[in-house]
């Protein structure tokens, strides 16, 4: 029985799927299964995957299109390994990333989640940045939440190896963007020990068609904010210091205010409600009396439009005055 299940959701990635699968197959860690979930592809992806499946190199599951979360959930249901890792079909892994990090998990069976380094690059293979970890074990829930809030632990699901049992009560939210950021708090709440590894690398590809390269729709704006507020609630419940919560709120507030021009009045009102309903926000020092209402938000947006560089400072002063 394989110890590790590698789950690859695939949808219309004929340009990249071979590089992805080949990078996993070339990893010399032997005790693994590769589950590829073809999420209703309409290009040549399905035919390319059949070539691997016919040779017994992957376990191929074909389904109607349901989105990334649904494909991942399908992969989890069919996984038999004690550990799970996710690799997006337009990404890849570096040489023996799985071998290096599974060795750590085998030697330390009490680790629930391992995060390994991530390399960001454009389709042209031009490297953007490389986020390397310092070897570190974290077994304190407040410290785990702090590192997730401050992005020392990434919100990605793909640069990690998880104990499969963490998913017994957690699923990726179907029909929602920013599903990684939304799901991580629920997984990390259950984890008793996290390991930040400096071994191997996950290769994250930026390409045209990413939601990062588009004018944001109202769905992108709402889903991004809902995911960020999920992180903030996790931080508040875990007792993360107020100034770190404030910083994350400022980031969310700034990001959302800059997109207000794309929203209707009704959608803007829904944004105010989202902010005001953050679980536990009234218990955080300077937010006890702070109501993030329509007029305050509009004033902040005006500041943003006229002086982007000083907007964080302006808002911080606003918080401190409450």
- On the question of pLDDT at 321 being above 70, the answer is no
Average pLDDT of the residues in 140-159? 85
d(CA 96, CA 99): 5
- When pLDDT is cut at 50, 70 and 90, the band that residue 239 belongs to is confident
Q: Is the pLDDT confidence value at 302 over 60?
A: no
Going 275 to 279 to 284 to 289, the CA torsion angle's sign is: positive
Instruction: Check residue 293 and give its pLDDT.
Output: 47
CA 90 and chain centroid, separation = 16
Q: Confirm or reject CATH 3.90.550.10 for domain 4-211, answering yes or no.
A: yes
Q: What is the 3-state secondary structure (H, E, C) of the chain?
A: CCCEEEEEEECCCCCCHHHHHHHHHCCCCCCEEEEEEEECCCCCHHHHHHHHHHCCCCEEEEECCCCHHHHHHHHHHHCCCCEEEECCCCCEECCCHHHHHHHHHHHCCCCCEEECCEEEEECCCCEEEEECCCCEEECCHHHHHHHHHCCCCCCCCCCEEEEHHHHHCCCCCCCCCCHHHHHHHHHHHHCCCEEECCCCCEEEEECCCCHHHCCCCHHHHHHHHHHHHHHHHHHHHCCCCHHHHHHHHHHHHHHHHCCHHHCCHHHHHHHHHHHHCCCCHHHCHHHCCCCCCHHHHHHHHHHHHHCHHHHHHHHHHHHHCC
User: Average pLDDT of 146-166?
Assistant: 90
Does the structure show a pLDDT above 90 at 155? Answer: no
- Write down the domain spans for the chain: 4-211, 215-320
Q: What is the mean pLDDT of the chain?
A: 82
pLDDT tops 50 at residue 200 = yes
Strands 194-196, 136-138: pairing kind? antiparallel
Residue 301 pLDDT: 53
User: Percent of the chain at pLDDT above 90?
Assistant: 49
| Predicted local distance difference test score (pLDDT) of residue 37 | 99
Distance in angstroms between the alpha carbons of the first and the last residue of the chain: 58
Q: Please, are residues 156 and 113 in contact by the beta-carbon 8 Å criterion? A: no
- Residue 33 vs residue 209, higher pLDDT: 33
């Amino acid at each position: 029985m394989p110890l590790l299940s590698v789950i690859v959701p695939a949808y219309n990635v004929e340009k990249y799927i071979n590089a992805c699968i080949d990078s996993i197959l070339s990893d010399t860690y032997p005790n693994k299964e590769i589950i590829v979930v073809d999420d209703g592809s309409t290009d040549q992806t399905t035919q390319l995957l059949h070539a691997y499946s016919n040779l017994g190199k992957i376990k191929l599951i074909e389904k109607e299109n349901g989105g990334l979360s649904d494909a991942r959930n399908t992969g989890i249901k069919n996984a038999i390994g004690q550990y799970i890792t996710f690799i997006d079909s337009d990404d890849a892994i570096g040489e023996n990333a799985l071998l290096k990090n599974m060795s750590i998990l085998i030697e330390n069976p009490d680790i629930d989640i391992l995060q390994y380094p991530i390399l960001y690059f454009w389709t042209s293979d031009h490297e953007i940045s490389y986020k390397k970890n310092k070897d570190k074990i974290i077994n304190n829930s407040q410290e785990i939440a702090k590192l997730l809030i401050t992005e020392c632990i990434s919100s990605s699901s793909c640069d990690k190896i998880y104990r499969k049992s963490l998913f017994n009560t957690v699923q990726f939210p179907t029909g929602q963007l920013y599903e990684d950021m939304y799901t991580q708090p629920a997984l990390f709440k259950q984890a008793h020990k996290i390991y930040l590894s400096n071994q191997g690398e996950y290769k994250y590809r930026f390409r045209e068609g990413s939601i990062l390269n588009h004018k944001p729709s109202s769905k992108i704006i709402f889903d991004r904010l809902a995911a960020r507020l999920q992180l903030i609630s996790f931080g508040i419940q875990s007792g993360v210091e107020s100034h770190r919560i404030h910083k994350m709120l400022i980031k969310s507030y700034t990001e959302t205010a800059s997109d207000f021009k794309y929203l209707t009045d009704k959608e803007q009102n829904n944004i105010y409600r989202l902010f005001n309903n953050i679980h536990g926000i009234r218990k955080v020092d300077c937010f006890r009396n702070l109501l993030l209402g329509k007029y305050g938000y509009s004033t902040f947006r005006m500041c943003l439009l006229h002086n982007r560089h000083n907007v964080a400072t302006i808002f911080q002063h606003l918080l401190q005055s409450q």
